[in-house]
Copies of this chain bind each other. A is one copy, B any other.
Amino acid sequence: MSQEKNWTQLWLKYEPKKEQGNASFFTGLVWKGFDHENAIIKNAQKELINGIQGMLGIALACKEEDKATLIIEKSEDAQIKEDGYLLKEVDGTLTLSARDEKGALYGVFHILRVVAMEKSLKGMDALVNPDNPLRMYNHWDNMDGSIERGYSGNSFFFVNNEVVVDERTVDYARFVASIGINGVVINNVNVKNCATWLITDRYFEKVAQMAEIFAGYGIKFFLSLNYAATIELGGLDSADPLDEGVIAWWKEKMAEVFAKIPNLGGFLVKADSEGRPGPFTYGRTQADGANMLADIVKPYGGIIIWRCFVYNCTQDWRDYKTDRARAGYDSFIQMDGDYHENVILQIKNGPMDFQIREPISPLLGGLKKTNQMLEVQLAQEYTGHQIDVCYLIPMFKEVLDFHTYCKKGADTVADVISGRTLGNKNAGIAAVINTGNDANWTGNDLAAANFYGFGRLGFTTSLSAEEILEEWIRLSISTDENVIDTIKGIMLPSRATYEKYTSPLGIGWMVTPNIHYGCSVDGYEYSCWGTYHRADHLGIGVDRTDKGTGYAQQYYEPNASMYNNMETCPEELLLFFHHVPYTYVLKTGKTLIQHIYDTHFEGVEEVEQMIAAWDSLEGKISADTFNLVKVRFGRQLYNAKEWRDQVNSYFFRKSGIADEKGRAIY
């Protein structure tokens, strides 16, 4: 690592290892069948040499075949799929077989991971094919350097409306490739100001440089597109997808863009949402808009990823019938089957917006003839701003494991987005990333577990949240078993803890408007955003049953009936689906109001326990990490207490029902 770098190496530290049992595999390296001039192979080679040198102090060199202890070979073995690899140790020789260069690169990172974790390569026999064809990070970076919902400093892609390509770009590519990411969108889906010009001469040179770096790590380069570019760039007076002039402009533009950026994978589009332009403006459908662009980029192998985050953001809070939760499904289900083959609909995990608890979007699996991609959010917009610790992989596991009942035997969200349900290849998983130019990349050192974990989970969906967490701790913090156990004890339940001290039982929101950090129970209650808890002096919750907004009916059976019935509705989602009296008795035997009080007191107690656990790590982990995280824990505790006291006081004042345990409520 050069001295100039003022950023950390995260899980690719390559520091010397105590465990040297793996050293014997690195006496002789042999490559077979791969082109050594291929950029990905060159990077894999470099990574392997640097990693082994750093961790084991061995200068790995290519040897004659009979002295090989590590063989990396191109293979036609049918069980190895695109991007996949087979890693097998036999009699002291480790063989990495891959179908393609990316598979070789991923396999190399696998080897380095085992060494770094101080696990043994002996007996290795792992066939690893990626579960999802597309595994993407979406950056919400603006060209002025700010990041929408960024909590880790500013952008490292953009500064002062210029594209930045430097050593950090390379490290970023290494990090995301090492966890299996194969596509990155570098700019905010809200494409404004200079970002509209990313597809012009003003930026092509730098953009192409960055795309080329990405290509060397098997990462397709994507841009968010301004749907109104025909107007803003083209000088046309329309962005109507059926207008001949509009189509002609895009054809010419796309020919230019794909010529200038050879590694371009396509575009992400947010249209007709939160003030963004789109086909609805011209009386056209979302399919009209997406297909028009898709047809034009198809000759270049491009795809169009079209976001389904479409809803009425100027709703009247007085209106109890309109339901934002319904909007995604209602906007997209009717055109199911009308989207062309190289369009993918990107669907947020829940029907609202990345709350700490939401039901799964009924569009996932609801669409039966349309390519789908799941969108989750690592940026902790509503989950603690990377001040509060919130390990999100357990939430994503719940989403992936959810049975949609769309197709017998292949009905989980994981099935849908992997392509198993529909037999499609334009499918996958995307996350709004939580990075920025902070030295530690993610603001809170512990938030890097989400950055790491999403990639690992996207590649291998069957990994458990705990397995992923343990990998990340071993690679990033320490291989000491006590440290590992302590950090697991802090992080594994952290999402549940965050949920306890914030909004109860799936109702969501209750956050400070705009900022989305900190409690404001009524902050979104009388707003235009479709985000209501409907609390009165008797009860709380939104009736989304067949007697209410009917949202529950958007699911297949038996989910629809399960959610529709207050007795069978999973209690963690009770207030999302039902308006419930404070005196309603939950399965625990507690009333709803007492549950609210109890969980909020518990949440704060759990944060206090986390902090005590963290304090026990002093001297056992890097002082930088210890101190930085400790400061944030102080802020988390303050935040948790504010939530506890505001939520409890709000509902006590409203209901007039006292806490059974007589604790302080204001």
CB contacts (< 8 Å) of A521 on chain B: these are: 522, 526
User: Is A318 interfacial (CB-CB < 8 Å)?
Assistant: yes
CA distance A88 to B442 in the complex (A): 78
Question: Nearest Cβ in chain B — how far from A665, in angstroms?
Answer: 9
Q: Which one of A31-39, A136-144, A593-601, A646-654 is at the interface?
A: A646-654
Interface residues of A in 628-666 (CB under 8 A from B): 642, 645-646, 649-650, 652-656, 664, 666
CB contacts (< 8 Å) of A519 on chain B: these are: 526
CB contacts (< 8 Å) of A650 on chain B: these are: 522, 526
CB contacts (< 8 Å) of A520 on chain B: these are: 522-523, 526
Residue of B nearest to A649 (CB): B526
User: Is A538 interfacial (CB-CB < 8 Å)?
Assistant: yes
User: Is A505 interfacial (CB-CB < 8 Å)?
Assistant: no
Are B526 and A653 in touch, CB under 8 angstroms?
Answer: no
Are A537 and B666 in touch, CB under 8 angstroms?
Answer: no
Are B642 and A526 in touch, CB under 8 angstroms?
Answer: yes
User: Is A308 interfacial (CB-CB < 8 Å)?
Assistant: no
Interface residues of A in 315-356 (CB under 8 A from B): 317-318, 320
Residue in B523, B653, B664 whose beta carbon sits within 8 Å of that of A654 in the complex = B653
CA distance A537 to B652 in the complex (A): 9
Question: Nearest Cβ in chain B — how far from A11, in angstroms?
Answer: 39
User: Is A364 interfacial (CB-CB < 8 Å)?
Assistant: no
User: Is A535 interfacial (CB-CB < 8 Å)?
Assistant: yes
CB contacts (< 8 Å) of A655 on chain B: these are: 537
Are B536 and A656 in touch, CB under 8 angstroms?
Answer: yes
Are B317 and A538 in touch, CB under 8 angstroms?
Answer: no
Are B526 and A656 in touch, CB under 8 angstroms?
Answer: no
CA distance A520 to B520 in the complex (A): 11
CA distance A523 to B525 in the complex (A): 11
A-B contact pairs, 17 of them (CB 8 A): A318-B645, A318-B649, A318-B666, A320-B666, A520-B522, A522-B522, A522-B650, A526-B642, A526-B645, A526-B646, A526-B649, A536-B652, A536-B654, A537-B537, A538-B656, A653-B654, A654-B654
Most chain B CB inside 10 Å of its own CB: which residue of A320, A522, A645, A664: A522
Most chain B CB inside 10 Å of its own CB: which residue of A526, A538, A652: A526
CB contacts (< 8 Å) of A664 on chain B: these are: 318
Are A537 and B656 in touch, CB under 8 angstroms?
Answer: yes
Would you list the 3 A-B pairs with minimal beta carbon distance, nearest first?
A: A536-B653, A537-B656, A318-B666
CB contacts (< 8 Å) of A318 on chain B: these are: 645, 649, 664, 666
Interface residues of A in 520-566 (CB under 8 A from B): 520-523, 526, 535-538
CA distance A547 to B425 in the complex (A): 73
CA distance A320 to B536 in the complex (A): 24
Residue of B nearest to A657 (CB): B537
Most chain B CB inside 10 Å of its own CB: which residue of A519, A653, A656: A653
Per-residue interface assignment for chain A, residues 293 to 324, with 1 indicating a CB less than 8 Å from any chain B CB and 0 otherwise:
00000000000000000000000011010000
Residue of B nearest to A319 (CB): B666
Per-residue interface assignment for chain A, residues 597 to 631, with 1 indicating a CB less than 8 Å from any chain B CB and 0 otherwise:
00000000000000000000000000000000000
